[in-house]
Structure 1
């Protein structure tokens, strides 16, 4: 490999790692990851069996709310997709390249690759952990599907896509079977993602890789969705051209909104345009200050 090829490979692999760090940090911020022990436990197939007084048995599954797992699946999705830069196996390949002279780290990478394949991309029903068989007494049809395919049907048929083929294959088993098959997969993928993120942090601190510090520091998830900030507000008749940039001087049609202005004008049927400029002394929670225009609804 000549120098040009080496530089291109290095740049591509660094791109994979930086994309993964940003996405993995967002996964790390998810509420399911707030309790590490609980997340690890959730990654295992949990079935509680109780013996009844009449000699029968009762099976109980207890999982987080579906919408909580659904949001986790959405955050994980790019890490599960082979076509995305932050795909887990691409990141391991990149790390293998940078750690090729580090035997101990290379061994960790190989082990992580094998475990991910077994847990997230199993090739047999046995590797998947279990399978479900159902029989329709009305039609006489029998169906059988392993846990991994049921889980994929929930992720890509019920949640992040509407994959018709996956839904059709898994429909005979119902939403409950699809969901409870997906929970351990999602939880384990989160565990594997966060462990790999921490491994990358160690390599970065040791100087074995040189990623942009920005990907470790930038905001990746919102802690709060309520903000208050000081601002100067301007308004103009509907149809007035807004400024083309944050620092563009305002035309004479824009007037400052202050205590002398009757706010009821913004509730009339005619509507209005508003322009807010950020207060330099009190930067908004999001990075940077700027200008925003809006058209309040009439009524």
Structure 2
């Protein structure tokens, strides 16, 4: 007797986000890009344009010096923070953000500069991400006999291959696998400039959204502008909450009943600077 087992696959359905919600999530994640050290220092403007210096002298021959960000971890952090804007399944996939902005604002309400920012953002995404053009430069690997070992790989493709196969995943396919034929140095050099270039695009768009929101032309949840996007901000926020209210410490193992004021619990001590010092240096504390 043949037995057949029917397997049912459930599909997770997610609620479609409103334009307001999309903009709120964009603001939070774009502020996280804005808080990256390379952005805060202005270094992205320095590294966004690929540069190399060719030196030739009789003693040592020719040498090439590439102008890249030596702080690889900062580029990795920046690229990771930017990645949700290029993942189609993400609610802040850049075309979705641009559609949300267009749905809430009219072209007549935008200044000439604001309209140019939107146009430049759409153009950048189309050409530099979707088409991955070699507007900046491209590299092709050629064998000793002049045969082509790879096609012409744009810096945009190499940069995406770096974040995908060298940083996040380990399963290169298609063009990303082709990029693995080049050296790690080639992929990282492309990443250094490309992700800085993309960061400028996102920061400029955030500035536009901030301006439109302040003028009441774009709906963005207020909490999106104040929500902590880094540990430093989160820690500062928590300290401000303690100052505004009160904090208590209790002996280990204390069970805190519901509805009971903290100061009424046996052994409770209100947190003061003196108490914090004693907690940090218990060996010299006298209670």
What is the deviation of 1:233? 4.1
Which residue in the other structure is 1:30 paired with?
36
Q: TM-score, normalised by structure 1?
A: 0.68
Q: Which moved more, 1:219-228 or 1:18-27?
A: 219-228
Q: 2:89 aligns with which of 83, 86, 94?
A: 83
What is the deviation of 1:141? 7.0
Mapping of residues 85-234 of structure 1, within 5 Å: 85-100=91-106, 101-104=108-111, 105-124=114-133, 126-127=134-135, 129-135=136-142, 142-144=149-151, 145-165=153-173, 168-223=177-232, 231-234=249-252
Deviations 1:176-208 (A, max 9, x none): 111111111110111111111111110011110
Rounded to whole Å, the distance in 1 between the matches of 2:202 and 2:251 is: 44
Which residue in the other structure is 2:278 paired with?
none
CA spacing shift, 1:98–1:226, aligned 2, 3 Å? closer
Contact 1:48 1:59 in 2 (8 A): yes
Which residue in the other structure is 1:65 paired with?
71
Rounded to whole Å, the distance in 1 between the matches of 2:129 and 2:137 is: 14
Unaligned runs of 5+ in 1: 1-7, 237-242, 259-276, 283-299
Deviations 1:247-297 (A, max 9, x none): 6489xxxx98x8xxxxxxxxxxxxxxxxxx996879xxxxxxxxxxxxxxx
Rounded to whole Å, the distance in 1 between the matches of 2:140 and 2:19 is: 43
The structure with the largest helix share of the pair is 2
Q: Secondary structure at the match of 1:235?
A: coil
Q: Secondary structure at the match of 2:63?
A: strand
What is the deviation of 1:44? 0.7
CA spacing shift, 1:224–1:231, aligned 2, 3 Å? farther
Contact 1:120 1:185 in 2 (8 A): no
CA spacing shift, 1:249–1:66, aligned 2, 3 Å? same
Rounded to whole Å, the distance in 1 between the matches of 2:169 and 2:250 is: 42
CA spacing shift, 1:224–1:141, aligned 2, 3 Å? same
Q: Which moved more, 1:191-200 or 1:129-138?
A: 129-138
Q: Larger relative contact order (C-alpha < 8 A, sep ≥ 6)?
A: 2
Contact 1:232 1:279 in 2 (8 A): no
RMSD between aligned alpha carbons?
3.5
Rounded to whole Å, the distance in 2 between the matches of 1:98 and 1:49 is: 50
Q: Which moved more, 1:19-28 or 1:225-234?
A: 225-234
CA spacing shift, 1:234–1:92, aligned 2, 3 Å? same
CA spacing shift, 1:27–1:233, aligned 2, 3 Å? farther
Unaligned runs of 5+ in 2: 1-14, 240-246, 274-287
The structure with the largest strand share of the pair is 1
Q: Secondary structure at the match of 1:176?
A: helix
